[in-house]
Chain A
Amino acid sequence: KAGVTQTPRYLIKTRGQQVTLSCSPISGHRSVSWYQQTPGQGLQFLFEYFSETQRNKGNFPGRFSGRQFSNSRSEMNVSTLELGDSALYLCASTGGQGLDEQYFGPGTRLTVT
């Protein structure tokens, strides 16, 4: 079974630009969650999608948005990038067993200059 894939793995953007990150979950998994990891704040929950609907949302500004497609693939978008958005963005795919069946992708390293 293929794991969670995230593209691109590395990205460099300039302040004010926008960015779209992609996540392909494990086949059969319908839930996709996104997390941001920074040295200062650690791992923080962004949002979760299940069957194309946002089911949970963390405490991030509206510049952070996401969506999920009918094949469960998910994208997250960050608009008007700020230097503080530089982080590792992790996607997690969750199966029917819940959090014990949650697998993380390798992440996308975003650098904002």
Chain B
Amino acid sequence: DQQVKQNSPSLSVQEGRISILNCDYTNSMFDYFLWYKKYPAEGPTFLISISSIKDKNEDGRFTVFLNKSAKHLSLHIVPSQPGDSAVYFCAASTGSQGNLIFGKGTKLSVKP
């Protein structure tokens, strides 16, 4: 039973436009959420996180939105750049020190 779901395996976006990656979770005990980016042959790299006490967190071109009632979060990348092309994983945890439950990832392709 998948507790964290990324329903879109892939997404293609034009350079300069917005990329929106979505993630749903089922466990209401999750209170800390993270997004990771992964290139082939490398481990995941932390991008941005959000605690359940917030509904938005921004870091440069990356913004994460959390809708607790819908158990949904999204990552917005504005503007998208070709170097953003990678697999993006959503992950959830109970607390900021716990182990991570990952979604299966969304492959983002940003076309020049």
**Which A residues contact B (CB, under 8 angstroms)?**
4, 33, 35, 42-45, 48, 56, 58, 90, 92, 94, 98-100, 102-107
**Which B residues contact A (CB, under 8 angstroms)?**
32, 34, 36, 41-46, 49, 89, 91, 93, 95-105
- Interface residue SS majority, chain A: strand
Q: How far is the CA of A102 from the CA of B46 in the complex (A)?
A: 7
Whether A45 touches B101, Cβ cut-off 8 Å, given contacts A99-B32, A104-B45, is: yes
Whether A56 touches B99, Cβ cut-off 8 Å, given contacts A92-B43, A104-B44, A106-B42, is: yes
Nearest residue, chain B, Cβ from A107: B43
- When distances are taken between beta carbons in the complex, the residues of chain B under 8 Å from A106 are 41-43
Q: Are A104 and B43 in touch, CB under 8 angstroms?
A: yes
Q: How far is the CA of A4 from the CA of B42 in the complex (A)?
A: 11
12 A-B pairs whose Cβ atoms sit less than 8 Å apart in the complex: A4-B43, A42-B105, A43-B44, A56-B98, A94-B97, A99-B32, A99-B46, A99-B96, A99-B100, A103-B43, A106-B41, A106-B42
**A90 contacts which of B44, B91, B95, B98 (Cβ < 8 Å)?**
B44
Q: Are A99 and B43 in touch, CB under 8 angstroms?
A: no
Nearest residue, chain B, Cβ from A91: B43
Q: Are B99 and A42 in touch, CB under 8 angstroms?
A: no
Q: How far is the CA of A44 from the CA of B97 in the complex (A)?
A: 16
